[in-house]
Amino acid sequence: MPIEPVTVEHPEHPLHALTTYELTYYRRRLENALAFLDKQDPVPAIRTDLQAALDGVLTEQQDRARLTAGA
C-alpha cells in the first residue's frame, strides 16, 4: 500500500503577519502531519522540515503570549 505524501502548505504571509486563528490552524496542520509521519517506518526526511516549521510557530505564539501578558 503506497503512502500518500504529507504536505503542509506554507502560509501566504510570514508567521508574524498571520492572525491568531491562521497561526493556530497552521500549527494544528503541522502537528497532525508530524503525528502521521512518526507512525511511518522509516520516518521520512520531510519530518525535519515540518518540525522546524512547528518550532517557528511555537516561538511566534510564545512571543505573542509574552506581549499580551506584558500589556
Scan for cell 504536505, then name that residue: 7
Scan for cell 501566504, then name that residue: 12
DSSP string, 33-44: HHHHHHTSSSPP
pTM, two decimals, is: 0.87
Query: Using CB atoms within 10 A of its CB, is residue 17 exposed (0-12), middle (13-18) or buried (19+)?
Result: exposed
- Report pLDDT digits (tens) over 30-55: 999 999 999 998 989 999 999 999 99
What are the structural domain ranges in the chain?
15-22+48-66
Q: What is the mean pLDDT of residues 7-22?
A: 93
pLDDT at 7: 80
